[in-house]
Amino acid sequence: MAGANHNHQRGRNAIEVRELRRRFDRQQVLNGVNVDCPTGMITTIVGPSGCGKTVLLKHMNLLLRPDSGSVVIDGDEITRMRGRELDRVREKFGMLFQAGALFDSMTVRDNVAFPLVEQTRLRPAAIEAKVKETLAAVGLDGVGRKYPSELSGGMQKRVALARALVREPKILMLDEPTTGLDPTRISAIHTLVRETQQKFDLSAVMVSHDVPDVFEISDRVAFMHDGKVHLYGTVDEVMNAHDERFEHFLKGKAEGVEHELGPGR
Amino acid sequence: MERFGALIIDSITSLGDFLLFLMNAGAYVVLPPYKPRLAVRQVRIIGADSLLLIVLIGAFTGMVLGLQGYNTLRRFGSEGALGTVVALVLVRELGPVLAALMIAARAGSAMAAELGSMQASEQIDALTVMAINPVQYLVSPRLLAGVISFPLLTSVFDVIGIWGGYAVGVGLMGAPGGSYLNGIAQNMTGNDVTTGLYKSLVFGVVVMWVCCYKGYHAQRMATGVSRATTEAVVLSSVLILASDYVLTSLLL
């Protein structure tokens, strides 16, 4: 099937973040973040726990507002937007939350249909067809009548992914889509994300802990440390940069332990 | 010293947030797009599902009033006034207040818990990212449902209570039945009834407002939801009784 034509201007960035700063109580979580998420590509944000990855992601769709800095979506600066203007920008997004964030009082089918029911004027038959199609695309036929609590964690994430995709967003945002899943599921989700990105022709930004598995589907990698993007580039560029912090991070991941590097190193 | 100053500033900020929350939710009740189905569902959850509890509490309250009232009035030889006393106390005071407290404990706490766990599991964030206003979608229907349900439930409470008083005072204790009912007909004014209903309206708004606010702003952890629920019921109860005094002095 043809992906939705989003009239991408290839070479432009779907998301541009410049000098983003954000403090929570006494902690400077984002300390001048700069990152580009190119159109039509998957950008992965990695880093040690607590480095601000999810906070950064939430600034990109303005769930959180920065103290200073800018976020540009498809050429529009969004940090000062409110109300209907902001809603229109948000309609470009589909977001997969860490635990799925499915509405537990609704069935799977109602969850996936929700964005269509609330935000479009499609007729029920058209909505039904779209929901079926999207659930099939994530490999979940026939679970429509179940409630989220009746599904396994992996299936819940796939439903959440279907809900994020059902309006064919321009930009897909994923917050740790594979955390907590077993290894076979992890590679299945990664493949699914890549296939979906190609099929629907969208841009994606993904926060992930599953390093180095996630590099298989990353077009760009941003390694965060101390509230800044420490390293950015293609997977090859980043792996060949011989950056001490990054290598320490990779090593820690390989051993299944995460070390905190002191500032002096 | 600095911490004290910070505490004051935080308190004022929270209070402001609290008031803005109500104004926001209230505005969305009257602004389009309208979501009547959500409000109807909440009326069922808050109103219809609380009916049994209201009937039970109303009956027992009426019965105790009948008992106590009879005992006290007998000292002055005024047993005939039992109906008047029971009815006025219920309709003006106990009906609105006790019904509100019961609904707060049952439906209010459930609401705070539901919104709190939605907040904790990022469901509210999910709504926001889908360009749906969570306050309009979650809170406004509940506010409207409260305004509809509370006066209706209070009325049921009152009527059941009056009959409970009759059952005990007249049926059990032997007060004159005709005087009981006639007393009510002669001495209850429209003002008594409207006072009670205005109170129940205000209580409806207060309980929904407090419980939704507490749930919506719950901290994102396991203790956060339970704390929000407890605080919601406690604060609702305190505000019901405090506003009861204010309203009574205004409406008397």
pLDDT 10s digits, A82-134? 888 898 899 899 999 988 899 988 999 999 999 999 888 889 999 999 999 98
Q: How confident is the model at residue A192 (pLDDT cuts 50, 70, 90)?
A: confident
- What sign does the CA torsion over B180, B181, B185, B188 have? positive
Checking if the pLDDT of B59 tops 70, the result is yes
Q: Name which of B118, B122, B129 is nearest A90 (Cβ-Cβ).
A: B129
Three-state DSSP state, A259: coil
The C-alpha of B222 sits at a distance from chain A's nearest C-alpha, in angstroms, of 15
Check B129 against A114: CB less than 8 A apart: no
Interface residue B252 vs chain A (CB under 8 A): no
**At residue A261, does pLDDT exceed 50?**
no
Q: Please tell me the predicted confidence (pLDDT) of residue A247.
A: 87
Considering only the beta carbons, identify the residue of A93, A101, A119 that sits closest to B122: A101
**Chain B environment of A58 (Cβ under 8 Å):** 125
Residue A265 pLDDT class (50, 70, 90 cuts): very low
pLDDT tens sequence across B9-49: 888 988 998 999 988 888 888 887 778 888 899 999 998 89
> Once rounded to an integer, what is the mean pLDDT over residues A192-219?
90
In this prediction, residue A9 has a pLDDT band, given cuts at 50, 70 and 90, of: very low
Q: CB–CB of B125 and A103 under 8 A?
A: no
The two tokens of residue A258 are 């995460």
Contact: B122, A58; criterion CB under 8 Å? no
Residue written as token pair 């609702």: B236
- pLDDT level of residue B241 (50, 70, 90 thresholds): very high
The edge-to-edge listing of strands for the beta sheet with A13-24 is: A27-38, A13-24, A68-73, A76-77
As a whole number of angstroms, the distance between CA B240 and CA B219 comes to 25
pLDDT of residue A260: 47
What integer pLDDT is reported at residue A242 of this predicted model? 87
Are the beta carbons of A101 and B132 separated by less than 8 Å? no
Q: Compute the distance between CA of residue A230 and CA of residue A36 in angstroms, rounded to an integer.
A: 13
Among the partner-chain residues A90, A99, A104, the one whose CB lies closest to the CB of B131 is A90
Average pLDDT in the A35-50 region?
91
Distance CA A39, CA A29 (A): 27
What residues in B contact A104, CB-CB < 8 Å? 121, 123
Query: Does the pLDDT value for residue A212 go beyond 90?
Result: no
DSSP per residue, B171-216: IIT---HHHHHHHHHHH--HHHHHHHHHHHHHHHHHHHHHHHHHHH
| Spatial distance between the Cα atoms of A95 and A64, rounded to a whole number of angstroms | 14
Q: Tell me what pLDDT residue A96 has.
A: 94
Task: Give the whole-angstrom CA distance, residue B141 versus residue B135.
Answer: 9
With contacts defined as CB-CB under 8 Å, which chain B residues touch A90? 128-131
Are A87 and B131 an interchain contact pair (Cβ–Cβ within 8 Å)? yes
Beta bridge partners, A68, equal A21
Is 70 exceeded by the pLDDT of residue A64? yes
Give the distance from residue B89's alpha carbon to the nearest chain A alpha carbon, in angstroms: 41
Q: Give which of A265, A178, A179, A176 is closest to A226, Cα–Cα.
A: A265
Q: Does B23 touch chain A (CB under 8 A)?
A: no
Contacts of A177 (CB under 8 A, 6+ apart): A96, A157, A161, A189, A193, A206, A208
pLDDT at residue B178 is higher than 50: yes
What SS3 class is residue A24? strand
Report the C-alpha gap between B200 and B197 in whole angstroms: 5
A25: left (phi over 0), alpha (psi -120 to 50) or beta: left
Cα(B217)–Cα(B220) distance, rounded to whole angstroms?
9
Region at B122 (left for phi over 0; alpha for psi -120 to 50; beta for the rest): left
| Phi and psi based region of residue A84 (left: phi greater than 0; alpha: psi -120 to 50; beta: remaining) | alpha
> In a mutagenesis test of the B interface, which of A63, A166, A168, A205 is the best target, namely the one with the most B β-carbons within 10 Å?
A63
**Among A150, A46, A154, CA closest to A100:** A154
Residue A201, CA atoms < 13 Å, CB-side half-sphere = 10
Q: Does ipTM exceed 0.90?
A: no
Cα of A10 to nearest chain B Cα, Å: 25
Chain A residues with CB under 8 Å of B131 CB are 86-88, 90-91, 119
Q: Which among B118, B123, B130 is the nearest to A115, CB-wise?
A: B130
Q: Which of B121, B125, B130 sits opposite A118 (nearest CB)?
A: B130
Q: Give, in order, the Cα–Cα distances in Å from A127 to each of A65, A114, A158, A166, B132.
A: 33, 9, 19, 9, 18
Taking an 8 Å cut-off on Cβ atoms, the answer to whether B121 and A115 are in contact is no
Contact B123 A102 (CB under 8 A): yes
| pLDDT of res. A11 | 57
Does A91 sit within 8 Å of B131, measured CB to CB?
yes
Q: Per mean pLDDT, which of A11-25, B98-112, B214-228 is the most reliable? A: B98-112
Q: Express as a percent the part of chain A with pLDDT over 70.
A: 92
Tokens describing residue A38:
């190119």
Order across the sheet with A42-46: list the strands.
A93-96, A171-175, A203-207, A42-46, A220-225, A228-233
Q: What is the mean pLDDT of residues A209-232?
A: 90
Choose, out of B121, B124, B133, B136, the residue to mutate when testing the contact with A (most A CBs < 10 Å): B121
**Contact state of B132 with A61 under an 8 Å Cβ cutoff:** no
Distance from A90 to chain B by nearest Cα, in Å? 6
8 Å CB contact of A119 and B123: no
Mean pLDDT within B225-252: 94
User: Tokens 């509405």 sit at which residue?
Assistant: A103
Q: Is B126 on the interface with A (CB under 8 A)?
A: yes
User: Nearest-CA distance from B51 to chain A in Å?
Assistant: 23
pLDDT of residue B120 exceeding 60, the answer is: yes
- N-to-C CA span, chain A: 51
The residue whose two tokens read 């796939």 is A158
Contact A63 B131 (CB under 8 A): no
Better-predicted residue by pLDDT, A244 or A261: A244
Q: Does B121 touch chain A (CB under 8 A)?
A: yes
Nearest CA in chain B to A169: B130
- pLDDT given for residue A51 in this prediction: 83
Give me the pLDDT at residue A257, please. 55
Residue B153's pLDDT band (cuts 50, 70, 90): very high
Looking at the whole model, is its pTM more than 0.90? no
**Closest CB to A103 among B123, B129, B131:** B123
Spatial separation of the C-alpha atoms in residues B250 and A232, rounded to whole Å: 67
Whether omega before B134 lies within 30 degrees of 0, making that bond cis, reads no
Q: Tell me the residue length of chain A.
A: 265
Contact of B125 with chain A, judged by CB distance below 8 Å, is answered with: yes
